[in-house]
Amino acid sequence: MGDEYTGPLERVDAYRWRIPKSYKPGMRVDGIIYADDRLIEHIKSDKSPEQVANVATLPGIVTASLAMPDIHWGYGFCIGGVAATDPEQGGVISPGGVGYDINCGVRLIRTNITLKEAQPLMEKLVDRLFANVPCGVGKGGRIKFKRAELMKLMEEGVPYVLKRGLGWDSDLAATEANGCIKNARPDYVTDHAYERGNDQCGTLGSGNHFMEVQVIDHVDDASTAAALGLHEGNITVMIHSGSRGLGYQVCEDALKELRGVPEKYGISLPDKQLVCAPVRSPEGERYLGAMRAAANFAWCNRQIMTHLARETLAEVFGRPAEQLGMHLVYDVAHNIAKMEPYEVNGERRMLCVHRKGATRAFPPGHPELPQQYQAVGQPVLVPGDMGRFSYVLVGRPEAMEQTFGSCCHGAGRQMSRGAAIRASKGRSIAKELLQRGVIARARGRTGLEEEQPDAYKDVIQVVDVLHNAGISSRVARLRPLGVIKG
């Protein structure tokens, strides 16, 4: 039996496809998938469009159940899914709409180091990053927090770790939500979650998480790139990680606690994995409080790794990080649920926006953006794969009108892990990457094979859909030079 989607997909325009709400009983809104003719064929090959339709049944969902072009099959929600619910209309919060890795996200650090200066030191740099940044299964962090400290960290977010000297004041404005979602409730984080993640703040993890040294290879929009401090030929550092074991366990605990809760509130679900609770319910508030604490943990995790990267580059290039111009360009979450105001049918409403494998993409002038990005819009960081490119985009006004200020989050896999390993037989992925000018180090036995470039779609296809649809616009392309993985 095939896993392909066989339901309706109606073309809206060159970059949007509709699953009409008449498709299945219980759909309250349409499903909308962003894709071009090429990508939609791939998207239909799994059940992710069915998941878009399922999400459209959630109580209080507003406008549409959305999916970005990097959509693929997830747990309940598809990866690449966006759903906004209105708490005043019985809207729900669903942990499946956030994912296990709460506030998995990406940050980009720029430098004034040129490719010419970096090239002779690249192998040393990658080796030193590999030694200094804890990564891989079971690796604890270099910076330890006692339980009381971790509780403060989860409540206060990045400002807490800055007080410990693990970053620069300017990092705050360059982090989504200034690195702290308000109303976090560390006291709702269970002992299990605490015990699982207490030594993992400041660790990269495994799977598709990475730290990458890149060069700004091409600039699409020179004035916006300049406003972001990005100049062709300069080196950047990108970090992709999340809330580690603590966040995974917060999700695990919530999925258990919410068993039976939909029935309690008379909510009928087409898929048990969409388990949820009204935002305005004790169960919903409990998950949101714990999720926010895990999100703040994740921002601190990436902040501490930024500190380790700054220390390492300073050591390798023999100049302080400040002299290397290692400013944070931006940090964005792509697995999160946040309360955000939107205009819906001419009415201002505070919505609970779930982004699961989708990045916030606010346009110029949005009040949540820092002063330095008011004129250009929020930087959107879209990692590709370790052999080709990643992209920096900025949000456009159409994102607010169409996607609840959301954009894609990556290339999306096109090969399973097993298939990638099988495709690597008789090859050395490390050598192939080296031939492309990428030095790669990985701790896992098959990490490079599973994460090889061919395992992912070409990110440009994904980025171009949203660029052409007017949701975001391309600013710069980043080419990998060195990567470390767990």
Partner 1 sequence: MMTKTQRVKPSYELFDHTADMGIRVTAPTMAELVRPASEGLYAVIGQLAPDAAEPARPVNWRLTGAEPAVLLRDYLAELLMLFERDHRIVREPVVAEFAPDRLAVEAQAFKLDQVRSVYQHEVKAVTYHALEIAVIPGGYRATIIVDI
Provide the token pair at 305: 């790794």
Rounded Cα distance between 263 and 96, Å, is 17
Figure out which of the listed residues 89, 112, 178, 273 binds partner 1, where binding follows CB under 8 A.
273
Q: CB atoms < 10 A from the CB of 148, how many?
A: 8
**Cβ nearer to partner 1, comparing 301 with 472:** 301
List the x/- string, 375-404, binding to partner 1 by CB under 8 A: ------------------------------
Rounded Cα distance between 74 and 97, Å, is 10
Residue 472 DSSP SS3: strand
**Cβ nearer to partner 1, comparing 28 with 417:** 417
The answer to whether 71 touches 33, Cβ cutoff 8 Å, is yes
Number of residues lying near partner 1 (CB under 8 A):
38
Amino acid at 212: E
DSSP 350-408: EEEEEEES-EE-PPTT-TTS-GGGTTT--EEEE---SSS-EEEEEE-HHHHHHSSSEE-
Q: Which of 25, 23, 43, 24 is nearest to 33 (CA)?
A: 43
Residue 210 as a binder of partner 1 (CB under 8 A): the answer is: no
Q: CB atoms < 10 A from the CB of 143, how many?
A: 17
Figure out which of the listed residues 206, 224, 236, 378 binds partner 1, where binding follows CB under 8 A.
206
Residue 144 as a binder of partner 1 (CB under 8 A): the answer is: no
**Cβ nearer to partner 1, comparing 453 with 486:** 486
Residue 50 as a binder of partner 1 (CB under 8 A): the answer is: no
Q: Rule CB under 8 A: which of 104-143 touch partner 1?
A: 136-138
Residue 259 as a binder of partner 1 (CB under 8 A): the answer is: yes
Q: Which of 106, 136, 380, 358 is nearest to 240 (CA)?
A: 106
The answer to whether 470 touches 427, Cβ cutoff 8 Å, is no
CB of 354 to partner 1, least distance (A): 17
Rounded Cα distance between 48 and 68, Å, is 11
Instruction: Output the CA–CA distances (angstroms, integers) from residue 269 to 25, 280, 330, 354, in the order listed.
Output: 11, 19, 37, 17
Residue 49 as a binder of partner 1 (CB under 8 A): the answer is: no
CB of 246 to partner 1, least distance (A): 10
**Cβ nearer to partner 1, comparing 33 with 481:** 33
CB of 170 to partner 1, least distance (A): 32
Q: Is 218 a catalytic residue?
A: no
Figure out which of the listed residues 29, 53, 239, 251 binds partner 1, where binding follows CB under 8 A.
251
CB of 132 to partner 1, least distance (A): 19
DSSP 161-209: HHHTTSS-THHHHTBGGGG--TT--GGGS-HHHHHHHTT-TT---STT-
CB of 142 to partner 1, least distance (A): 17
**Cβ nearer to partner 1, comparing 108 with 274:** 274
Figure out which of the listed residues 101, 156, 176, 331 binds partner 1, where binding follows CB under 8 A.
101
Q: CB atoms < 10 A from the CB of 384, how many?
A: 24
Provide the residue count of the chain.
486
**Cβ nearer to partner 1, comparing 244 with 396:** 244
Residue 256 as a binder of partner 1 (CB under 8 A): the answer is: yes
List the x/- string, 407-436, binding to partner 1 by CB under 8 A: ------x--xxxx-----------------
Residue 79 as a binder of partner 1 (CB under 8 A): the answer is: yes
Provide the token pair at 471: 């949701």
Figure out which of the listed residues 178, 372, 374, 446 binds partner 1, where binding follows CB under 8 A.
446
Catalytic residues, which ones?
409
Binding site for partner 1 (CB under 8 A): 46, 72-73, 75-76, 79, 100-101, 136-138, 192, 195-196, 205-208, 245, 248-249, 251-252, 255-256, 259, 272-273, 413, 416-419, 443-446, 486
